Structure 1
């Protein structure tokens, strides 16, 4: 179990190299893999990893979210307000990671709350990452359906080699599964750069279609119909900017691990995400108005070669993001496995390797099966967005409060009183957002059950 350490105990500077101290692993094993900073990832690699973890299929939902929230101005204001909390949460988690010597989000919670914190956080991370991975595979199948229906015809799925069951299994086994066994998350820095490039293409495509697509938009809102409509954009924003599960492993692999470097990397990554989401949301909404669909690419003609490339780009982006979520989920399941089953193997390296391979393989197979059986993901992003609020607000708030109480149990200093108040606001705001968004998602699901429109006839 991690022990809460002071600021000076979390890292040791030796010459020009930064070494992480040896801390007890959350799986009951001692971490002896102290690696010099020279083996870590660069700032640019860390930026790409964070961007790739944050940017995803949520990009395609932003135009409709702008419509549901009551127009561009309302959605942008809500986004700006939430961004301050999102960035603050990233810095809090990094600070607590330094104090505890943690390398994952669940280890941060273990460092400040012990075993109960580890189990609660690991369960939430595993659930969120698993659900997201399932949606990624469904999205891959949807992109294949769009491309094949355009190139072959609407009877494409009657051919076994073009059926979505075959295309999902084959493509994910070739492009995703080999990337799921890496021990360190910075192994994915190269594929992350590819994922970022594909997203840039999709954004350029949305802007291009606004001026060259000759679309007639529906009514464009300038204010929300009901004030509660502003919360409809919250799950999309939370889901879109939720990289808090991934940033601690990225921070742990940073070559020069310190809060200043992390702040720079996180700021650049979030700035890129802001520009990407905002441009896609504004131009996508202005192109279609109230006629915009939940997946903005579905509103474009599938016969346009530029659109087909954009559809393929979304699939490629999904291939590059799935392994990052699986890595975080795999570590969470590994923590639960070790703590609940009380592993006590003598060969630590063999145990870790076997557990890593087993969890990754079973995880991939289960998500693949559920993706083949699940008909629709219409309400899944809303549910995942509500859960993302827990990672963005509640967990960082809990970490901030406990770390402050640890060094000042009686809250004597005025600075610590302010910090505790901020932590309470984080927790209350996150709980409120989670509750409101979850209830709204449940009501919308009940009133309008998800309907799957298949392209094959």
Structure 2
């Protein structure tokens, strides 16, 4: 048997493909071909991570600061949770390298087993579905604000069908979102994500500049929470705002080269941008309006051209973020579907394209229908924040605990480092369980007490 090697743009991380030629019942020749693997660089992946993290939570952050008891309290809570948020991202990336997992639920399956994979896929499907609804709600709100600014008299007097909230959500989503939802790889969205990030940075600049310009006196500004439990009002918003964990593994799997050193650069830059963006918007936004702040920060401003540009850019950014969450939710749903039907790997691969298209269309239409009837994003964010805690704390904590215990079992040694990892993972799980239960209970109480209400916006007829 002879071997020949061809070098086609080879690098250290290139895949090797074996081509075999069968002759007279046996493999006579094997040719090893080095093929260049294409993927996203660490810096282009930053835009995917930031676009996945920055979104609906940005608009709700200033009000969350008020609910938590003021700027200082909220920033301290945010800083504490950021330690766990970043640690969870690196834990998931480390565990994904064990068997080259490409989705969140596959990482959980690799470390914790099949039942844990099913549970994570169920939570992930629910979370992504709800988040997609939230994005469509925001799109409808932004277009309504735009029409009230540019054609208020005509809009309020005639209420044309093509300007109402339902029509703008449906028409623009079909035109601008659905075409981005069908690709197989998530890095297809890296260029659209760049546009989305630019839009978010404009909103941050707007809120900051508006604070330093002359404006009406703010309402009362809190410096401490009314009760110690109020501190946790900001937790759902933090979890929802920084939750990029469900999309982080697909993003990491598309990186070239794929390794933790390069990925740590992506995470560091992305988290710096997210912290600066969220903290600046929340602090300056809250200090501008005090307790007069609305659920959507842009609704608090007088309608002027600069604000309307921000409104449009938020809509554009949301168009580019929805497909990322659909991608992750679709992968989780397909995992459950193929597992429930007991399909073989061969059938799963052969039906992948058809299944992906059908799932995408059904998902898109279902979220579109629900978004038309839900009035605002406040209660949705509270509920989704509870589910985000599961992805940020519970499952990463489980992965760290099981992986560490497996190392102990293999080596028979309890080192100081492994004891720390076990203790840290237990903190992850305990904290995540507490946050999930508390925030879910709070959101249900708000719902039953009439917590869903329309914002008192200056964009009204």
* TM value normalised by structure 1: 0.90
Instruction: Report what 2:27 is aligned to.
Output: none
Pick which of 136-145 and 374-383 moved more.
374-383
Pick which of 158-167 and 83-92 moved more.
158-167
Change (3 A) 1:367 1:439: same
Instruction: Report what 1:244 is aligned to.
Output: 245
Does residue 278 (structure 1) correspond to residue 274 (structure 2)? The answer is no
Instruction: Report what 1:388 is aligned to.
Output: 388
Matches within 5 A, 1:129-140: 129-140=128-139
Does residue 413 (structure 1) correspond to residue 409 (structure 2)? The answer is no
Unmatched runs of 5 consecutive residues or more in structure 2 = 1-9, 19-32
Change (3 A) 1:157 1:40: farther
Q: Deviations over 1:320-368 (max 9, x none)?
A: 1000000000100111111111224856654110111111111001101
Structure showing greater Rg = 2
Q: Deviations over 1:103-122 (max 9, x none)?
A: 01000011112221221111
Instruction: Report what 1:17 is aligned to.
Output: 13
Unmatched runs of 5 consecutive residues or more in structure 1 = 1-13, 23-33
Instruction: Report what 2:28 is aligned to.
Output: none
Instruction: Report what 1:8 is aligned to.
Output: none
Change (3 A) 1:347 1:306: same
Does residue 192 (structure 1) correspond to residue 193 (structure 2)? The answer is yes
Q: Deviations over 1:290-348 (max 9, x none)?
A: 1111111001112x011110101110110010000000001001111111112248566
Distance 2:34 2:366 in 1: 34
Question: Is the contact between residue 37 and residue 256 of structure 1 (CA under 8 Å) also seen in structure 2?
Answer: no
Distance 2:214 2:257 in 1: 47
Does residue 144 (structure 1) correspond to residue 137 (structure 2)? The answer is no
Distance 1:135 1:408 in 2: 43
| Number of residues of Structure 1 aligned to a counterpart in Structure 2 | 432
Matches within 5 A, 1:344-383: 344=344, 346=346, 349-383=349-383
Distance 1:456 1:106 in 2: 44
Distance 2:129 2:37 in 1: 33
Question: Is the contact between residue 17 and residue 36 of structure 1 (CA under 8 Å) also seen in structure 2?
Answer: no
Distance 2:276 2:397 in 1: 27
Instruction: Report what 1:121 is aligned to.
Output: 120
Instruction: Report what 1:71 is aligned to.
Output: 70
Q: Deviations over 1:130-182 (max 9, x none)?
A: 00001111110111111112222252672111122211111011110000011
Pick which of 362-371 and 150-159 moved more.
150-159
Question: Is the contact between residue 157 and residue 163 of structure 1 (CA under 8 Å) also seen in structure 2?
Answer: no
Does residue 59 (structure 1) correspond to residue 58 (structure 2)? The answer is yes
Distance 2:273 2:195 in 1: 15
Instruction: Report what 1:440 is aligned to.
Output: 442
Instruction: Report what 1:264 is aligned to.
Output: 265
Matches within 5 A, 1:177-216: 177-216=178-217
Q: CA deviation at 1:376?
A: 3.2
Q: CA deviation at 1:407?
A: 2.2
Distance 2:270 2:150 in 1: 36
Distance 1:377 1:95 in 2: 34
* TM value normalised by structure 2: 0.89
